[in-house]
């Protein structure tokens, strides 16, 4: 295959990504997000969105059911904790494996259709999984209570090595390093970096080119000698594995799994993250996930008390009006804000935040070079 | 033995007999043109070669192998490439990527999980694609986005995408339809160049002037039947052809 070295701009992108992820505790501290619980969420949902983007961003197949794989990943990981070991590595293997298997089954059927019918099929399957988790599958999922650890769990591998956690319910630990606090974050961070790197390789590979071809012109693909189904299914399974991994990590950092993780709102969230950040771009999904999880954290913490303080400077009646209006958008109403934000992005910035950054960069460049553009004429391919 | 052999092909659409016992033999290394007025059944016939339609009866044999019932990607992998009436390209990819993609399909087959290597480091594919773009005169636009090309350039690109696969048979459906005069002439010149290298081609046209200088043999299709099959020089003066075209004017 000859020289397989990545080109310079990709290496810079990867290097910058690694630095930002590793120094996130310091970098996010000024905006009040430099603590592990939140950073961990950025990383986990970043992985979820990266995988979703391989399907949606490259092939154009819009799945509305990816939360099912997230849920399956969580259940698999918790079962692995219960039956085998509190070590996160086997739990992740199971989470990825079952996420992938589940995706293979759902993808196999859903990919018989394209467009809106495909989306509806995936949505239907995910909702079915969600409902089954509450009903028939209660022995596996523990229904509404959610699947939890118990002192009586066998933990066969841990037993074999003579590990006894005593009377307390143990956290997951990697050979003695507990998956809580900063070590929990860094565990997720390393996996985020690995996932980003793999996604980069897929984007730049012949396989990735085929997936783009699928999005661009399926007719031409078929008459060019390419079998469309296995390409779409592979992308679907890969994104299911990413989702399974993300679900596994949710369980590792907080060992329980509930069916609400599979709900359609969760499926919708990853769609929003990907589109908000920039579907089909490398960084977009991670940026979208971070953005949404950050603002969710801020907005959902607001309550009427805080709002009253914010509008303290207003006379009483005006304050009450302002508080009652703005309280619609915070706390439980955060989804309303998210919806409004999403509409604005889709209408004014269809390429997502990444496109916004690019536009700013171009106009700044113009400013400095007296309207000369960014040195690239419009002919050239958009960079990722 | 002929490369493509079409025997007694019938195709009905409801009450319409779109193809009526069509026979066609295409010899390797020749250009065979199929002309006829609009609605004669030309596109329908072509669709029967490439797995888009299945004839009701009759056989289509390519290189000794029946094409009937095969999905489009297998027909392509067997060595048949097709240019569409409206150019089918990957509008949001660069020209270079547009031509590399078919080259990968030729090298790696109809499916390959080739997810680790880098596209830009596949020197053989890249060189073949660049060379093919040069061949059709689009090399300097290699990094442009394909959707922004003119109609004529899109057609050239589509030809490059087919040729890079080195097909045994190239099918062209009205390759100059909807083109400005200059683009039409350029496209005809390009097709001549390709034909001179020995590429076997089936060209469909309703404008007979396009194919006279190009074809080794011409079949005239009217209302689903081949009414004449002859050398180009004998076609022009044939009264049945003129009648078909004049009679077909109302179609
Ligand atoms: N899928 C179809 N369903 C019904 N009728 C069709 C279909 N495709 C073509 N036809 C009809 O068959 C006839 C031949 O069409 P076509 O092969 O497209 O002609 P040409 O390419 O020679 O102009 C026309 O009368 C057309 O309306
Ligand atoms: Mg036609």
Partner-chain contact B90 A7, CB within 8 Å: no
Answer yes or no: is pLDDT of A135 > 80: yes
Residue ranges of domains in chain A: 8-21+32-281
Give the best residue of B51, B115, B123 to mutate against chain A (max A CB count within 10 A).
B115
Ligand 2 mean position to B70 CA, how many Å? 22
DSSP state of A55: I
Q: What pLDDT is stored for residue A381 in this prediction?
A: 40
B43 close to ligand 1 (CB < 6 Angstrom): yes
Q: What is the DSSP string of A275-330?
A: HHH-TTSSSHHHHHHHHHHHHHHHHHH--HHHHHHHTTTS-HHHHHHHHHHHTTTS
CB-based contact B92 A220, cutoff 8 Å: no
3-state percent breakdown (helix, strand, coil) of chain A, nearest 5: 70, 0, 25
Domains observed in chain B:
1-79+167-251 (3.40.50.300), 90-166 (no CATH)
The 3-state DSSP class for residue B225 equals strand
What six digits make up the tokens of A83? 């039956």
Q: Is the pLDDT of residue A180 over 60?
A: yes
- CA closest to B51 among chain A residues: A223
Taking the CB of residue A355, how many other CB atoms lie within 10 A of it? 18
The share of chain A scoring above pLDDT 70, in percent, equals 95
d(CA A139, CA A120) in angstroms, rounded, equals 28
A1 pLDDT band (50/70/90 cuts)?
Answer: very low
Q: What is the pLDDT of residues A354-377, one digit of tens each?
A: 988 888 988 888 887 764 444 444
Give SS3 for B31: strand
Closest-CA residue of chain A to B97:
A209
pLDDT digits (tens, 9 = 90+) for A245-281: 999 999 988 888 888 888 888 899 999 999 999 999 9
Whose CA is closest to atom 11 on ligand 1? Answer: B18
User: For A19-57, how does the pLDDT look when each residue is reduced to its tens digit (9 = 90+)?
Assistant: 999 999 999 999 988 899 999 999 999 999 999 999 999
When CB atoms are compared, the residue of B82, B101, B141 closest to A213 is B101
Inter-chain residue contact B143 with A379, CB threshold 8 Å: yes
Q: Between A201, A222, A228, which is nearest B116 by CB?
A: A201
Among the bound ligands, name the one nearest to the CA of residue B42.
1
- Above 50 in pLDDT, residue A134? yes
DSSP B13: E
CATH class of A8-21+32-281: mainly alpha
Contacts 24+ apart (CB under 8 A), B14-23: B17/B223, B17/B224, B18/B44, B18/B224, B19/B44, B19/B45, B19/B48, B19/B55, B19/B224, B20/B223, B20/B224, B20/B225, B21/B58, B21/B225, B22/B58, B22/B221, B22/B224, B22/B225, B22/B226, B23/B226
Residue B199 to chain A, least CA–CA distance (Å):
18
* Residues 6+ positions from A117 with CB-CB distance below 8 Å: none
CB-CB under 8 Å, B123 with A226 = no
Question: In chain A, what residues touch B81 (CB-CB under 8 Å)?
Answer: 223-224
pLDDT in tens, B144-202: 999 999 988 999 999 999 999 999 999 999 888 888 888 888 889 999 999 999 999 99
pLDDT of residue B12: 93
**Tens digits of per-residue pLDDT, B125-150?**
999 999 999 999 999 999 999 999 99
Least confident of A186-200, B58-72, B207-221: B207-221
Tell me which residues have their CB within 5 A of the ion that is ligand 2: B 43
**Which residues in chain A are closer than 8 Å to B144, comparing Cβ atoms?**
379-380
Whether the CB of B18 sits within 6 Å of ligand 1: yes
Per-residue pLDDT, averaged over A305-317, amounts to 80
Confidence of residue A3 (pLDDT cuts 50, 70, 90): low
Q: What is the ipTM of this complex?
A: 0.92
Report the chain A residue with the minimal C-alpha distance to residue B142.
A380
**What is the whole-number distance in angstroms between the Cα of residue B173 and the centre of ligand 2?**
7
Rounded CA-CA distance A319/A303 in Å is: 14
CB atoms B73 and A5 under 8 Å: no
Please tell me the residue having the least CA distance from ligand 1 atom 8.
B44
Q: How far apart are the first and last CA of chain B?
A: 36
Q: Say yes or no to pLDDT of B27 above 50.
A: yes
Q: Average pLDDT over chain A, rounded to whole?
A: 88
Kindly report the protein residue whose alpha carbon is nearest to atom 25 of ligand 1. B39
| Binary contact (B111, A5; C-beta < 8 A) | no
Q: Does ligand 1 lie within 6 Å of residue B36's CB atom?
A: yes
């Amino acid at each position: 295959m000859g020289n397989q070295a990545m080109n310079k701009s990709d290496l810079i992108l990867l290097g910058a990504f690694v630095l930002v992820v590793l120094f996130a505790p310091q970098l996010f501290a000024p905006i009040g997000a430099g603590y592990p619980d939140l950073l961990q969420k950025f990383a986990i949902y970043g992985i979820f969105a990266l995988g979703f983007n391989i399907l949606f961003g490259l092939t154009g197949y819009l799945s509305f059911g990816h939360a099912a794989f997230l849920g399956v990943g969580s259940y698999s990981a918790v079962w692995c904790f219960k039956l085998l070991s509190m070590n996160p590595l086997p739990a992740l293997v199971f989470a990825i494996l079952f996420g992938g298997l589940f995706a293979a089954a759902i993808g196999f059927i859903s990919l018989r259709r394209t467009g809106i019918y495909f989306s509806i099929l995936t949505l239907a399957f995910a909702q079915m999984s969600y409902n089954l988790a509450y009903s028939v599958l209660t022995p596996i999922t523990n229904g509404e209570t959610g699947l939890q650890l118990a002192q009586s769990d066998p933990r066969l591998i841990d037993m074999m090595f003579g590990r006894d956690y005593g009377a307390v319910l143990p956290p997951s630990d990697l050979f003695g390093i507990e998956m809580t606090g900063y070590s929990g974050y860094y565990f997720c961070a390393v996996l985020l970096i690995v996932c980003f790197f793999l996604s980069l390789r897929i984007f730049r590979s012949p396989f990735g080119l085929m997936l783009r071809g699928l999005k661009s012109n399926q007719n031409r693909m078929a008459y060019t000698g390419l079998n469309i189904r296995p390409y779409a299914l592979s992308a679907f399974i890969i994104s299911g594995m990413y989702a399974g991994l993300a679900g596994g990590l949710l369980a590792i950092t907080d060992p329980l799994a509930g069916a609400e993780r599979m709900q359609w709102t969760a499926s919708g969230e990853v769609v929003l993250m990907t589109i908000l950040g920039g579907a089909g771009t490398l960084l977009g999904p991670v940026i979208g996930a971070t953005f949404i999880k950050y603002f969710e954290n801020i907005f959902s913490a607001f309550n009427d008390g805080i709002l009253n303080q914010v509008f303290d400077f207003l006379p009483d009646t005006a304050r009450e009006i302002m508080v009652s209006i703005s309280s619609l958008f915070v706390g439980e109403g955060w989804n309303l804000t998210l919806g409004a934000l999403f509409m604005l992005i889709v209408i004014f910035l269809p390429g997502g935040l990444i496109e916004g950054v690019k536009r700013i960069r171009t106009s700044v460049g113009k400013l400095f070079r007296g309207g000369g553009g960014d040195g690239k004429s419009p002919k050239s391919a958009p960079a990722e | 033995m002929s490369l493509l052999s079409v025997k007694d092909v019938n195709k009905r659409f409801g009450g319409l007999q779109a193809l009526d016992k069509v026979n066609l033999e295409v010899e390797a290394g020749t250009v065979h043109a199929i002309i006829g007025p609009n609605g004669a059944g030309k596109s329908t016939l072509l669709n029967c070669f490439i797995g888009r339609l299945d004839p009701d009866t009759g056989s289509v044999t390519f290189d000794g192998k029946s094409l009937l019932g095969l999905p489009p990607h297998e027909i392509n992998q067997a060595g048949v490439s097709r240019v569409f009436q409206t150019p089918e390209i990957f509008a949001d990819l660069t020209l270079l990527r547009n031509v590399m993609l078919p080259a990968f399909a030729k090298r790696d087959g109809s499916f390959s999980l080739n997810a680790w290597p880098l596209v830009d480091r596949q020197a053989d594919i890249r060189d073949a694609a660049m060379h093919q773009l040069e061949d059709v005169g689009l090399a300097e636009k290699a990094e442009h986005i394909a959707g922004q090309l003119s109609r004529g350039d899109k057609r050239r690109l589509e030809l490059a995408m087919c040729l890079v696969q080195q097909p045994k048979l190239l099918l062209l459906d009205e390759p100059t339809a909807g083109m400005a005069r200059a683009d039409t002439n350029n496209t005809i010149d390009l097709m001549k160049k390709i034909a001179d290298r020995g590429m076997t081609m089936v060209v469909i046209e309703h404008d007979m002037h396009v194919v006279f200088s190009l074809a080794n043999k011409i079949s005239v299709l009217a209302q689903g039947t081949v009414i004449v099959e002859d050398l180009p020089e004998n076609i022009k003066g044939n009264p049945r052809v003129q009648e078909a075209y004049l009679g077909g004017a109302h179609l």
